[in-house]
Structure 1
Amino acid sequence: MGVGYDSDDDTFEECPLADDLRLIAKQELREDEEIRTHSLRAMRSWIRKHPDIINCRVDAPFLLRFLRTKKFSVPMAQNMLERYLIIRELYPQWYRKMDVDDPVISDILDSGFIIPLPGREKDGRCVLLSCTGRFNAYKYTSDDMIRVFGLVSESLMDDPEHQIKGYSYANDYCGTTMGHLSLWSLTDVKRVVRMIQNAAPMRHKSTYFLNVPNFADKFLNICTSFLSAKFKNRIKFTNDVQEIHKLVDPKYLPKEYGGDIPMASLIADLKKKLRAQRDVILALDEMKININNKGKIISEIEDAQPELVGSFRKLEVD
């Protein structure tokens, strides 16, 4: 059995935080020891009594993903956890067998498509750098892209610093081709956006889109149209790499972005960390929820308006 599947409802874990994290957690998330302990017990009791949850992690690092994302609103955290489990059942091609040693995943990681930078940005957040042009759109699929992003995200989400401070994203579209856009159905774009907003236990704090080619504007306009106003307000478009230097100290960036670190070193470090967590991440496949009675939630996740049928192959390019 994997990590955290056998804790009692009243299990008490020490969750030590550095002073700066404790202050942020209190100010931004309402978290203190009493609220944290009460909320963890409430989550565990709810999971064990839930008629459809068959197996789920109940350890503190996992449950705190949801509680901290929802600022310790237990009902909202429960709703997000339920959606997280349902999405894993609905889309096994995205979330099952997220194995760093899978040949497809390993090859995509070796390309440098996505890298969590070793340093933190100005507000102390983890920065995920993605480089679309490094993803081989003629060899791999959008499902492969999502699975790799999911693997890297899962490797970060148990860290209390990331849970409390959140994440920033630098998405570089240099090298993007129509082949990359044609990987995506409009329906899947909407599903992914809904997943990010409603089922991913991550505090998404800021997003930079860098070097977006003109032909990709329509793609991103459609993607962002599905976002809430809060998410939209955290997005910035730029063609100036100096904006990324303002976000994060260049010494933590790859040399390709004016930094000091060879991309190959960042990739090797990432794969080393993923291998260290390999068993824990693969054990997520043991979680299970019965989705037969979840028609309303499933319809919200999968709903696609008629005009969204098709793919970006049909977009007109100016």
Structure 2
Amino acid sequence: MSEREWVSEPDDYVCTLSKETQEIAKEELREDANSRKQALEAVREWIKKNPKIANCRLDSRFLLKFLRFKKYSVLQAQEALERYVLLRQTFGIAFNHFDIRIPMMEELTDLGYLFACPKRDSKGRRVIIARPGVFDLFKFTNADMCRIHGIVYETLMEDEENQVRGYVHFADGQGVGFPYLTLFTIKEAVRIVKNGEKTLPMRHKEVHVINAHPSMKFALDFGISLVSEKIKKRLYFYTSKEEMLKSDIIETDVLPKEYGGEMPMAEMIGKFLYK
């Protein structure tokens, strides 16, 4: 029987993280040179023997996403990786063909639907901006929505600094109303929320939401009921930009100028698209 071919082959990991980030990884994730080497070897052997995984990346940068996500619990990292592969297979085209140059993806990014601020916060975390109200329900589909999220998240997850330090999410609900609930069935919505926490290898550190329309309260309450207590404690809701600015919880200097920061949103989007 011939050797299977993989999307990427195993490599010898070379750590390029700063000393400070390595210290965070050790303190928060139990990562050091020895635990990293042993865990990578264990996960690669498991993948090669797993009949549910027909093909997969075996390079360190990819596998470390899952190990860091699960604080080096090899078993939990394997479970998350298996769910991740299943997710990519199940949703087909929506979670494949990740190319920001696809015209519809470029258009959604230019609109400011989803992008990351170029400046990290004081804890070194990337801040992801989401503005679902600019999503035109008559022009774009739920597959387009899934794909743009996939493009943005997969891009950010390739950065090892992000894998260790995690993410802050900032969402503006302005313009989102009842019709948006038709984008996904309840079953699909449940799966998306749960996968967002349990499957995508992202360390969600804070989630900030402003301008949530009252008509969406029951939908938000339903979504919140699906996440863990850990994530619930990291959720912050503001009725307006003014309330957010007064709260002093989120570092507004990192945000676009339109939300109290220094750099205009259009400039941030340009840096994210074309850096």
TM-score by length of 2: 0.91
Q: Partners in 2 of 1:75 and 1:24 — Cα distance?
A: 22
Superposed displacement of residue 272, structure 1: 1.6
Taking structure 1 as reference, are residues 176 and 52 closer, same or farther at Cα in structure 2, changes over 3 Å only?
closer
CA deviation profile, 1:137-181 (whole Å, cap 9, x unmatched) = 232122211211111000010211111111111111012232323
- Residues 1:88 and 1:4: Cα distance change in structure 2 (over 3 Å): closer
What is the rounded CA distance, in whole Å, between the counterparts of 1:55 and 1:3 in structure 2? 6
- Asked if 1:98 is matched to 2:98, the reply is yes
| Matching of residue 254 in structure 1 with residue 256 in structure 2 | yes
> In the aligned structure 1, how far is the partner of 2:64 from the partner of 2:23?
17
Residue ranges of structure 2 left out of the alignment (5+ in a row): none
What SS class does the counterpart of residue 120 from structure 1 fall into?
Answer: coil
1:5 matched to 2:8? The reply is: yes
By how many angstroms is 1:3 displaced? Answer: 9.5
For residues 249 and 104 of structure 1, what CA distance do their matches in structure 2 show?
A: 30
SS of match in other structure, 2:118: strand
The residue number in structure 2 matching 1:270 is: 272
Q: Which residue of 1 aligns with 2:124?
A: 124
CA contact (8 A) 2:245 2:252 kept: no
Structure 2 counterpart of 1:80, one-letter code = A
Query: Aligned to 2:112, what secondary structure does the other structure show?
Result: coil
Q: Give the whole-Å Cα distance in 2 for the aligned partners of 1:4 and 1:242.
A: 46
- Alignment partner, residue 36 of structure 1: 36
TM-score by length of 1: 0.79
Aligned residue runs from structure 1 range 107-146, under 5 A: 107-146=107-146
Unaligned runs of 5+ in 1: 274-318
Alpha-carbon offset, residue 200 of structure 1? 0.5
CA 65–14 in structure 1, closer or farther in 2 if over 3 Å, else same: same
The number of residue pairs the alignment matches comes to 268
Q: Give the superposition deviation at 1:262.
A: 2.3
Alignment check: 8 A CA contact 1:120 1:248 kept: no
How far has the Cα of 1:17 moved from its partner?
1.9
SS at match of 2:34: helix
The answer to whether the 8 Å contact 2:252/2:259 transfers is: no
Partner of 1:85: 85
Coordinate RMSD, CA, aligned: 1.9
The match for 1:236 is 236
After TM superposition, give the deviation of residue 126 of structure 1 in Å: 0.9
Q: Offset at 1:39? A: 0.7
Aligned pairs (5 A) from 1:46-195: 46-195=46-195
Give, in angstroms, the shift of residue 6 of structure 1: 2.1
1:18 is matched with 18
Cα offsets for 1:3-41 (capped at 9, x unmatched):
96122xxx4221132111011111100000000011111
Choose between structure 1 and 2 for higher RCO, CA contacts under 8 A separated by at least 6 residues: 1
Separation in structure 2 between the aligned mates of residue 41 and residue 242 of structure 1, nearest angstrom: 47
